[in-house]
């Protein structure tokens, strides 16, 4: 058996097509949604993410602006940038690119974003609304995964789901969304005992723990749907040979590095019923969902 590929690029294209239709209706009313981005420092991965998000804004016709602060910026400096975006009517969504430098109080910054502009869904008000099953904005990665499952014909109601990871950004909201969709949900983490025994119970397994290749064939129930949220850079040839399928190892030899997920694709591919690739799986969905949230924040139905 070879797992069916869940193509995040194709699902993201479908989401963006939906967004285009909503943008056309908004334009007819004279509304152009706007996204304000705050980037602190020069982290290469963060810069790549911001470029991808702003490129998608340009593709779809959203207004966007990026405030790039130096790595030495204080919490007050970042709060001032948030204040500016909070007060500007042409900015409907605010994205604070994480992680922030160590000296910046991340929670204070996220709490300072106006809840009605919090398109990442991290403000306590929006977290609370999600818990109560009346969300305003849902964090983009879990929301994108739910869209992918629905558009790929994966039944969630009545299934056993296991979420590997308990972060505020992915693990916790993912568990809530699956529970709200009537799955029976277990959340695993670094203190979970006999992890393979727990994950093998899953009809739907979401891996979001940030460890390259942790989930292997023995962790997966035959026929399960496996969603790989991990994005890990590998530059060691021995690790790459273990983690990559042969077709991707040739690419690694050319570039000297590769992105891999939390799932050991070569072994899981032979057991799972469906699997998201890395790259090309969850990543494009996250960006598409951010834009969809921004359009929603602008009231573009």
Q: Which residues are catalytic?
A: 53, 97, 120
> What distance in Å separates the CA atoms of residue 157 and residue 293, rounded to the nearest whole number?
25
Q: Give CA torsion, residues 75, 78, 79, 83, to 10 deg.
A: 170
């Amino acid at each position: 058996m070879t797992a069916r590929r869940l193509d995040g690029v194709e699902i993201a294209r479908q989401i963006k097509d939906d967004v285009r239709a909503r943008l056309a209706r908004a334009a007819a009313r004279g509304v152009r949604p706007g996204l304000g981005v705050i980037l602190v420092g020069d982290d290469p991965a963060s810069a790549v993410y911001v470029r991808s998000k702003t490129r998608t804004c340009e593709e779809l016709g959203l207004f966007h602006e990026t405030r790039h602060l130096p790595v030495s910026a204080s919490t007050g400096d970042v709060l001032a940038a948030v204040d500016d975006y909070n007060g500007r009517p042409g900015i409907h969504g605010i994205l604070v690119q994480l992680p922030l430098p160590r000296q910046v109080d991340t929670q204070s910054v996220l709490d300072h974003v106006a809840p009605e502009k919090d398109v990442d869904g991290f403000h306590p008000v929006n977290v609370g609304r999600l818990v109560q099953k009346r969300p305003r904005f849902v964090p983009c990665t879990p929301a994108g995964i739910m869209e992918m499952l629905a558009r790929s014909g994966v039944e969630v109601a009545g299934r056993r789901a296991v979420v590997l990871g308990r972060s505020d950004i992915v693990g916790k909201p993912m568990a809530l969304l699956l529970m709200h969709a009537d799955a029976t949900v277990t959340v695993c983490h670094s203190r979970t005992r006999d992890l393979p025994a727990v994950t093998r119970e899953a009809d739907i397994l979401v891996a979001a723990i940030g460890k390259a290749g942790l989930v292997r064939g023995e962790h997966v129930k035959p026929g399960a749907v496996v969603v790989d949220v991990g994005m890990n850079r590998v530059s060691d040839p021995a690790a790459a040979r273990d983690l990559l399928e042969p077709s991707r190892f040739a690419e690694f030899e050319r570039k000297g590095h590769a992105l891999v997920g939390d799932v050991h694709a070569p072994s899981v591919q032979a057991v799972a019923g469906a699997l998201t690739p890395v790259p090309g799986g969850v990543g494009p969905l996250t960006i598409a969902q951010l834009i969809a949230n921004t359009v929603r924040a602008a009231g573009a139905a």
